[in-house]
Structure 1
Amino acid sequence: MNDELQHLKNLGKTSAQWLHAAGIHSASDLASPGCGRYYQAVKTRGFRASKVLLYAIEGALMDMHWNDICRRKER
């Protein structure tokens, strides 16, 4: 299966499956504002996602490693 989300930086099989369950199926779905909204959608479906998923989604949109976003926000 060629899953567009899995080709984005930071998003692997599990995070892509969680996002699919929350109704997000493509990079263009993620492009609308609201990383926090996507994270909450995953959490409300009962998945045990950590806050790293929140950074992973933002990093996927910015084509950055999620850990670099954490460091950038600390400055």
Structure 2
Amino acid sequence: MSLWYFLSDWFAGVPTLGVLFKRFMINVAWACILLFVMIILQLPAEYAAVVYFGVLVANCVMGIVFAFQRAQMRD
């Protein structure tokens, strides 16, 4: 599957809650893979915290943008 498959429905107007959930889960999956690699490489825990909170911030921003898009569609 290509990256465009995952992004096409996101950029096709206002996404649905299912699309938002899919994007959240893709971000979480990438973070889990990255954290696993960091464990193998025995990197400092500060890097893991950056990854964890980075995904949290990215998902929050996506949720806020989603809410604004929905509000604009209702107006």
Q: What TM-score bracket applies, with the shorter chain setting the length?
A: 0.3 to 0.5
Q: What's the TM-score, normalizing by structure 1? A: 0.37
Q: Which has the higher contact order (CA 8 A, sep 6+)?
A: 2
Q: Which has the higher helix share?
A: 2
Q: What's the TM-score, normalizing by structure 2? A: 0.37
